[in-house]
């Protein structure tokens, strides 16, 4: 008897109570309907009911890993869409249907017939997205890109996907361990940043916390239990801290809410890791939020009024004032942040915003995003979407690069900068002037030769800061350079530069190859692979394409081959000549100086003595000079304004001797000039010709270093005296693009 009853109990348990489940499904459905905000048209209500019925039917008999009816999941996802993201009827319909095409007999065609093309397109995007894994595998990256194309057409695809992911994370308990890890990692890697980028702060935070919970359960539990233990202390502090503020605000007639939430578990853990501190050192770091209720015509003024109240009571840190109200973030975030000193000597961040701003901050701009056919006003989210679309539609971009670039943009914070006319542009932090140029227009980017930030000339690589005003300087002759890739951070700039470089290289390689073939024929050598290989080695190029490219760029000169031995059509190179040693300019100066050392007379009696010109200030005739008797190098001549002179003259007055130039001499002296400016095509040529032809100066050496579009050059040239040198420098200053000219060793 006992056995029978056990048997019966077991049987009853394993067959779910269908009636009870039906009631529960309906209850959850009603809860979903209640959670949808705002007015609903009859048509929408009908569509939602239809979607619900179809989903129930399609998922009939399916169960989740936890044993619950599968339909609980789409209902929950739909509810997150409505309640936590603030989406409307169409999204609720799509959320209810989101797993049908993938997991049931329902086809996309069925959905299109039943609900029209809009819903079908969203379901299509959702179905594709769910099949993806976000690793660095190229086929999957390509898939990801395709889906993002869909996303760019309708942002609801990604929003519903986020709701789906959030519910899966909330119910991850039932999964096996390796599935948990995979889903949690994906969430951390892609969905949390995406939620952040779209301004869904609370979803982002929850996703991060849940990911940590499953990836690092021990740490998660530890932090979460410590947070619970310290809750009372925190509450007491917040209540004491906010008391005077609350009183003043009530006095001013504000209705408001004050929240003081601790940081998320994930962010506490992150801080502990990155700053290498203990829980005790970070747990009490939190922000106090003041939310102003009620309708207001002037939200901005209200927020600043509250700011004034807060700072009446507590001393603010002027460096930590953030005004996201005048300039909202790209994802729509608006808030006024200040950090003030609490009586206990601790900095406390206070966030001031209206209820509307708080809604956007919690649920994202998506909550307020309208999906009408007509062209809407350009919201910041639109801008972001159109950027994503632009990158996606670029056929030259490679899928893996794209994913990486996209991730880059997802993770980065942003800055706000201005055009010369005061137009605002949002860029990721660490964006450079070059990123800015490409952000304005790809043409502007490609022809960018320099930029003025706040009216000052800066290298293209200089990271911009919020509030900078940037003027881009362009030249029609400019072309994108390879090193540009080292200092752009935006996906758009990277794509455009890479595409342009590829194009350039292709064109140039053809030109270079032709020049090479011409030269081979001229030398009577065969144009064949063997000779090309010999040449590639001879010119130390990695590949023949690189060689052609270098020839076309003028880095490698085919004329250098004149006189090369050719035997039976084969090039014969002599044994490698020993390399010219790389001596510094100073060495060369020193050597040459030593040769004509008789231009000075030294001492009271103006004797002809052996002397050396010092290398620290490079004196030339015309300079005010003095001699210094050294311990073991004889007399050294310094300029009076030499940086070392003051010290020498004050400490060793007794070893100073007079020195004077013997008047105009035919001897030429080597002098160095350093100059810098904006790198432009043909500039080296211009400078060289000024020095050698126009001024009749004999140039010893010239070196150029181009860095981020700013060049620095050094010229060593023979001059007669300071007058000669000065007039040469004056001419150089007048060259277009040259910004600074100075004598070496001043």
Residues contributing to the site for Mn ion (CB under 5 A): 99, 164
Q: How far is CA 54 from CA 27, 35, 95, 106, 504, in A?
A: 17, 20, 12, 9, 56
What minimum distance in Å lies between the beta carbon of 354 and Mn ion? 35
Active-site pick, 24, 44, 83, 103? 103
Q: Are 611 and 662 in contact (CB under 8 A)?
A: no
CA pair distance 161, 129, nearest whole angstrom: 8
Q: Give per-residue burial for 409-435: e unless 16+ CB within 10 Å, then b.
A: bbebebbbbbeeeeeebbbbebbbbbb
**Choice between 102 and 250, CB closer to Mn ion:** 102
What minimum distance in Å lies between the beta carbon of 73 and Mn ion? 6
Q: How far is CA 612 from CA 189, 640, 647, 662, in A?
A: 66, 15, 19, 15
DSSP helix, strand, coil percent of the chain (3-state; round to 5): 55, 15, 30
> Is 312 known to be catalytic?
no
What minimum distance in Å lies between the beta carbon of 403 and Mn ion? 23
**Choice between 134 and 704, CB closer to Mn ion:** 134
Active-site pick, 102, 231, 257, 562? 102
Nearest residue to 394 via CA among 481, 479, 480, 495: 495
Find where tokens 């009216």 sit: 455
Q: Would you list the DSSP string of 381-448?
A: HHHHHHHHHHHHH-TT--HHHHHHHHHHHHH--EEEEE-TT--EEEEETT-BHHHHHHHH-HHHHHTE
> Is 705 known to be catalytic?
no
Nearest residue to 76 via CA among 3, 37, 24, 113: 24
**Choice between 169 and 683, CB closer to Mn ion:** 169
**Choice between 160 and 238, CB closer to Mn ion:** 160
**Choice between 119 and 238, CB closer to Mn ion:** 119
What minimum distance in Å lies between the beta carbon of 113 and Mn ion? 22
H or E stretch covering 186: helix 177-186
Question: Over 261-323, what HEC string results?
Answer: EECCHHHHHHHHHHCCCCHHHHCCCEEEEEEECCCCCCHHHHHHHHHHHHHHHCCECHHHCEE
Nearest residue to 184 via CA among 160, 165, 162, 156: 165
**CA neighbours closer than 13 Å in the CB half-sphere of residue 340:** 23
Q: Enter the tokens of residue 221.
A: 């539990």
Q: Are 173 and 104 in contact (CB under 8 A)?
A: no
Residue of this chain nearest to Mn ion (CB atom): 164
What minimum distance in Å lies between the beta carbon of 190 and Mn ion? 16
**Choice between 80 and 348, CB closer to Mn ion:** 80
Task: For residue 291, count CB atoms less than 10 angstroms from its CB and return exposed for 0-12, middle for 13-18, buried for 19 or more.
Answer: buried
What minimum distance in Å lies between the beta carbon of 97 and Mn ion? 11
**Choice between 183 and 325, CB closer to Mn ion:** 183
**Choice between 70 and 548, CB closer to Mn ion:** 70
What minimum distance in Å lies between the beta carbon of 120 and Mn ion? 17
**Residue 521, number of CB atoms within 10 A of its CB:** 11
What minimum distance in Å lies between the beta carbon of 167 and Mn ion? 7
Positions annotated as catalytic residues are: 102-103
């Amino acid at each position: 008897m006992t056995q029978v009853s056990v048997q019966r109990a077991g049987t009853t348990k394993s067959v779910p109570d269908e009636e009870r489940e039906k009631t529960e499904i309906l209850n959850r459905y009603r809860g979903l309907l209640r959670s949808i905000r705002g007015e609903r048209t009859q048509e929408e209500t009908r569509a939602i009911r239809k979607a619900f019925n179809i989903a129930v039917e399609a998922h009939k008999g399916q169960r989740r890993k936890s044993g619950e009816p599968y339909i609980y999941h789409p209902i929950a996802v739909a509810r997150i869409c409505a309640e936590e993201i603030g989406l409307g009827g169409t999204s609720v319909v799509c959320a209810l249907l989101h797993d049908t095409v993938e997991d049931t007999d329902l086809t996309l065609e069925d959905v299109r017939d039943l609900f029209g093309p809009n819903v079908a397109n969203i379901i299509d995007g959702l179905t594709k997205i769910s099949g993806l894994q976000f690793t660095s595998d190229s086929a999957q990256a390509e898939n990801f890109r395709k889906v993002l194309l869909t996303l760019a057409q309708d942002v609801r695809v990604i929003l519903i996907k986020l709701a789906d992911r959030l519910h899966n994370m909330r119910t991850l308990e039932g999964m096996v361990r390796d599935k948990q890890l995979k889903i949690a990692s994906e969430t951390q890697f892609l969905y949390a940043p995406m939620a952040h980028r779209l301004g869904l702060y609370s979803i982002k935070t929850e996703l991060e916390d849940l990911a940590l919970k499953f990836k690092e359960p021990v740490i998660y539990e530890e932090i979460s239990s410590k947070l619970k233990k310290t809750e009372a202390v925190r509450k007491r502090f917040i209540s004491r801290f906010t008391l005077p503020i609350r009183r003043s605000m009530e006095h001013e007639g504000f209705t408001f809410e004050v929240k003081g939430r601790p940081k998320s578990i994930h962010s506490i853990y992150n801080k502990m890791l990155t700053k290498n501190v203990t829980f005790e050192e970070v747990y009490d770091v939190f922000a106090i939020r003041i939310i102003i209720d009620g309708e207001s015509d002037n939200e901005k003024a209200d927020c600043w009024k509250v700011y004034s109240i807060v700072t009446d009571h507590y001393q603010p840190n002027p460096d930590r004032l953030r005004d996201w109200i005048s300039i909202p973030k790209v994802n729509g975030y608006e808030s006024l942040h200040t950090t003030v000193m609490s009586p206990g000597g601790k900095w406390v961040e206070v966030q001031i915003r209206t209820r509307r701003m708080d809604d956007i901050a919690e649920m994202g701009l998506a909550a307020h995003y309208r999906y009408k056919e007509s062209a809407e006003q350009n919201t910041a989210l639109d801008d972001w979407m159109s950027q994503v679309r632009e990158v996606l539609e670029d056929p030259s971009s490679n899928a893996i690069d794209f994913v990486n670039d996209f991730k880059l943009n997802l993770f980065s914070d942003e800055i706000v900068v201005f055009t010369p006319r005061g137009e605002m542009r949002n860029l990721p932090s660490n964006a450079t002037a070059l990123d800015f140029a490409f952000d304005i227009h790809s043409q502007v980017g490609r022809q960018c030769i320099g930029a003025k930030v706040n009216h000052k000339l800066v290298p293209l690589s200089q990271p911009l800061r919020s509030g900078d005003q940037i003027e881009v300087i362009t030249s029609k002759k400019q072309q994108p350079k390879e090193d540009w890739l080292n200092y752009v951070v935006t996906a758009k700039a990277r794509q455009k530069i890479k595409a342009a470089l590829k194009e350039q290289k292709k064109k140039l390689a053809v030109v270079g190859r032709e020049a090479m073939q011409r030269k081979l024929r001229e030398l009577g050598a065969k144009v064949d692979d063997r000779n090309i290989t010999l040449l590639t080695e001879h010119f130390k190029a990695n590949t023949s394409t690189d060689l052609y490219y270098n020839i076309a760029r003028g880095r490698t000169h085919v004329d250098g081959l004149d006189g090369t031995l050719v035997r039976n059509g084969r090039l014969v190179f002599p044994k490698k000549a020993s390399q010219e040693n790389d001596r510094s300019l100073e060495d060369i100066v020193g050597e040459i100086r030593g040769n004509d050392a008789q231009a000075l007379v030294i001492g009271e009696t103006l004797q002809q003595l052996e002397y050396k010109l010092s290398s620290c200030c490079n004196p030339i005739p015309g300079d005010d000079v003095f001699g210094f008797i050294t311990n073991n190098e004889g007399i050294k001549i310094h300029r009076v304004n030499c940086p070392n002179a003051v010290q020498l003259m004050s400490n060793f007055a007794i070893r100073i001797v007079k020195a004077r130039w013997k008047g105009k001499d035919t001897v030429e002296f080597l002098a160095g000039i350093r100059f810098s400016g904006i790198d432009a095509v043909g500039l080296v040529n211009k400078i060289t010709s000024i020095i050698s032809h126009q001024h009749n100066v004999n140039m010893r050496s010239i070196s150029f270093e181009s860095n981020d579009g700013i060049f620095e050059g050094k010229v060593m040239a023979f001059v007669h005296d300071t007058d000669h040198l000065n007039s040469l420098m004056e001419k150089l200053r007048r060259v277009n693009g040259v910004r600074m000219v100075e004598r070496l060793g001043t």
